[in-house]
Amino acid sequence: MPFRIELIHLLDQFHRLRRRILVFLDAFGILAALSVFMLLIYHIGFEHSKSQVEAIQKGYNLILFIILLSNLAGLGLKTWKSKALNKRLADLILIPLIIMLLDVRTGFPGFLNQSHLIYRLLSYNLVVYILVIFILITEISTSSLKLSNRNTNPALLFVSSFLFIILFGTGLLMLPTSTYEEIGFTDAFFTSTSAVCVTGLVVVDTASKFTPLGQAFILILIQIGGLGIMTFTSFFGYFFKGGASFGNEFLLKELMNEEKLGEIFKTLVKIVMVTFSIEAIGALLIYFTLDPSNFSKGYSIMGFSIFHSVSAFCNAGFSTLPAGLYQPGFRYNYTLHYIIAFLIIAGGLGFPIVFNFYRLLRHFLGNKFRQITGMQDYRHIPNIININTRIAVITTVFLLLAGFAFFMISEYHHSLEGLSLRGKIAGAFFGSATARTAGFNSVDMMMLAPASILFYYFLMWVGASPASTGGGIKTTTFALALMNVISIAKGKDRIEIFRREVANESVRRAFAVIFLSFLVISVAVLILMITDGESGLSRIIFEVISAYGTVGLSLNVTMGLSIAGKWVLIITMFLGRVGTLTLLVGLFRRLRSMQYHYPAENIMIN
């Protein structure tokens, strides 16, 4: 018996030591991944001599060799379980990749010879870049799932993740090879914020200032900002780690607004896959509408298609054309305008709505298949389309139709002057779609009628739907406020719609969001009138609402702003993207549910 107790004690000590070593190896892997990533940034971000390139290559080999040893050690220390392998899939993928890469780049006589296609492929630096990024993603993603163990506030994590990627993006855009001419910190920070917050306002011309590498950085920032960095890291963390704790799942549940805890990973996969699929389809459609004569030999048509597809779906509004879609050679390409408009609408609907309609379509097709094959009778599932989807879709359609009709009338003899009827219809529809957070322009914005500018205020302020890539106060917030007014006018003490009663908490949040939006916009306009008042009140209001709604449309004010004015818009874009209410929730600790009530009294309103 004493021997058995001693054996158990020794095994317990061994497992403790093993866990400590694994924690150390995880931390070591992160440091190594960050080191090789910084070396990659130094490699592609600066010009180098031949001897410096060789030194960098030796650095790659050394760090990759260290990562290989770390992963092999970690693989040996991880345990097997009966149902699942308790180790990261990254270990199984990285080890053979690194072995092959080291075999080629160090010149060791291994299983690859110079006649093999794999050898030639691995000899290119592009594979090193891809592998380095893959290593960084796997290490950071698997570590991000441990954040909930420190009782991280979801709202604060969401806000801080955006701030982190903005700062990182600023550094990337300030690299010498990112721009044709050096830009200052403020301009780089503004551009990074505009990209991450998917706004589209620019202080420097994207086409003429940024090199293809700089434009690629902007595209990556748009993609990360559109979906959220936590979506990416959580997705890869789940994939490579093979699961997460309940704490992780509850954290992601709040970040993603997912109702079912067991559906989090499926939702992550759906979000990433749907996004990339729609953007890929959009890029192909854009590609086939373009005229090659509008592109120089050094400019990639496919690159243009991918950039604008991602920018449109993420509602970013960035374009590699100096005048946007109003650029000669593109302004009359109405097919291109419609494709981008529908990408904008798809991105602005929100993933919950897309998944809700996908569930309806799957249910409908399944019933049809069962009826045709005679396998089973019709199966009814009530309320597949939930109330949130109904309100968001109805409000979106209403705003699109109202915007189309209004712009068709008000701009008929202004920005749409001289176009054919087909062109006027395309211009009015595109203006209605882009005004609600996209930021692309297919007409000369300086030719807008005063009435159209006022209507733009309203559309930009409302914005897209919740859990989408767009901004604004959101369609459901506007709808709830309107329904609340109608309910009070009818003498009701609650909001009822589609045989459902809207929770009082939703109404309170809606009015809090509306009040905070007016507060932020008013303060920003006031400060800009002090710093850049010569631009005019109406144009400044337009820029501020465009920034807060993460729209990106401009009346040529942003590029001429002072440094102070640029920082005002930077803060406004950031607050508009993360949400002022979300920021306040992150800063102030949540109160526990109060189990008491004071005597109620009415306050005089009017």
CA distance 225 to 14: 44
CA distance 209 to 195: 15
Q: What confidence score (pLDDT) does residue 86 get?
A: 44
User: For tokens 């009814």, what's the residue?
Assistant: 380
User: For tokens 């189990």, what's the residue?
Assistant: 595
pLDDT per residue as tens digits for the range 450-489: 999 999 999 999 988 887 878 888 898 999 999 988 888 8
**Residue 342 pLDDT grade (very low, low, confident, very high; cuts 50, 70, 90):** very high
Residue 12 has pLDDT above 90, yes or no: no
Q: Which two structure tokens, joined as six digits, stand for 246?
A: 């309940």
Q: Which domain holds residue 54?
A: 1-144
- Give the side-chain half-sphere CA count within 13 A for 83: 2
Amino acid at 313: F
In a domain, 190, yes or no: no
Say which residue, 586 or 510, is predicted with more confidence.
510
pTM of the model: 0.83
Residue 587 has pLDDT above 70, yes or no: no
CA distance 344 to 429: 12
Residue 577 has pLDDT above 70, yes or no: yes
Q: Is 595 helix (H, G, I), strand (E, B) or coil?
A: coil
Asked whether 250 and 223 are in contact (CB, 8 A), the reply is no
Residue 262 has pLDDT above 50, yes or no: yes
Q: Which residues pair with 501 in a beta bridge?
A: 496
pLDDT per residue as tens digits for the range 305-336: 999 999 999 888 898 888 888 888 898 999 99
Asked whether 315 and 344 are in contact (CB, 8 A), the reply is yes
CA distances in angstroms from 218 to 173, 175, 222, 583, listed in the order given: 8, 13, 6, 25
Asked whether 165 and 197 are in contact (CB, 8 A), the reply is no
Q: What confidence score (pLDDT) does residue 568 get?
A: 95
Say which residue, 234 or 193, is predicted with more confidence.
193
H or E element: which one contains 381? none
In a domain, 194, yes or no: no
CA trace torsion 321, 324, 330, 332 (10° rounding) = -170
In a domain, 309, yes or no: no
Q: What confidence score (pLDDT) does residue 381 get?
A: 66
Q: What confidence score (pLDDT) does residue 422 get?
A: 92
Mean pLDDT for all residues in the chain: 78
Asked whether 331 and 325 are in contact (CB, 8 A), the reply is yes
**Residue 71 pLDDT grade (very low, low, confident, very high; cuts 50, 70, 90):** low
pLDDT per residue as tens digits for the range 18-59: 677 766 666 666 677 677 778 778 877 888 888 887 787 777
> Which of 100-104, 185-189, 379-383, 541-545 shows the lowest mean pLDDT across its residues?
100-104
Region 427-434: what's the mean pLDDT?
92
Say which residue, 180 or 151, is predicted with more confidence.
180
Residue 123 has pLDDT above 90, yes or no: no
Residue 344 has pLDDT above 60, yes or no: yes
CA distance 378 to 371: 7
**Residue 563 pLDDT grade (very low, low, confident, very high; cuts 50, 70, 90):** very high
CA 489 to chain centre: 39
Which DSSP string corresponds to 86-149? -S-HHHHHHHHHHHHHHHHHT----S--TTSHHHHHHTSHHHHHHHHHHHHHHHHHHHHTTGGG
Q: What confidence score (pLDDT) does residue 373 get?
A: 72
Asked whether 438 and 551 are in contact (CB, 8 A), the reply is yes
Region 569-598: what's the mean pLDDT?
74
Residue 521 has pLDDT above 70, yes or no: yes
**Residue 225 pLDDT grade (very low, low, confident, very high; cuts 50, 70, 90):** confident
Q: What confidence score (pLDDT) does residue 120 get?
A: 45
Q: Which of 97, 119, 144 is at the close of a domain?
A: 144
CA distance 66 to 172: 26
Q: What confidence score (pLDDT) does residue 26 get?
A: 66
Q: What confidence score (pLDDT) does residue 261 get?
A: 52
CA distance 166 to 188: 10
In a domain, 228, yes or no: no
Region 425-431: what's the mean pLDDT?
93
Q: What confidence score (pLDDT) does residue 110 get?
A: 45
CA distance 309 to 132: 26
Residue 131 has pLDDT above 80, yes or no: no
Q: What confidence score (pLDDT) does residue 289 get?
A: 92
Region 181-202: what's the mean pLDDT?
91
Q: How many domains does the chain have?
A: 2
Phi, psi for residue 413 in degrees, rounded to 5: -110, 20
In a domain, 136, yes or no: yes
Residue 108 has pLDDT above 60, yes or no: no
Instruction: Give the CA angle between residues 453, 456, 458 to the nearest 5°.
Output: 125
- Give the pairing of strands 500-501 and 496-497: antiparallel
pLDDT per residue as tens digits for the range 239-248: 545 454 444 5
In a domain, 572, yes or no: yes
Asked whether 126 and 120 are in contact (CB, 8 A), the reply is no
pLDDT per residue as tens digits for the range 368-408: 777 777 666 666 666 677 888 888 899 999 999 999 999 99
In a domain, 118, yes or no: yes
pLDDT per residue as tens digits for the range 529-553: 999 989 899 999 999 999 999 898 9
Q: Supply the DSSP symbol for 500.
A: E
pLDDT per residue as tens digits for the range 141-161: 555 555 544 555 666 777 777
In a domain, 179, yes or no: no
Q: Is 257 helix (H, G, I), strand (E, B) or coil?
A: coil
Q: What confidence score (pLDDT) does residue 396 get?
A: 92
Core vs surface per residue 14-53: b (16+ CB within 10 A) or e: eeeeeeeeeeebbebbbebbeebbebbeebebeeeeeeee
Say which residue, 544 or 347, is predicted with more confidence.
544
Q: Is 449 helix (H, G, I), strand (E, B) or coil?
A: coil
**Residue 569 pLDDT grade (very low, low, confident, very high; cuts 50, 70, 90):** very high
**Residue 78 pLDDT grade (very low, low, confident, very high; cuts 50, 70, 90):** low
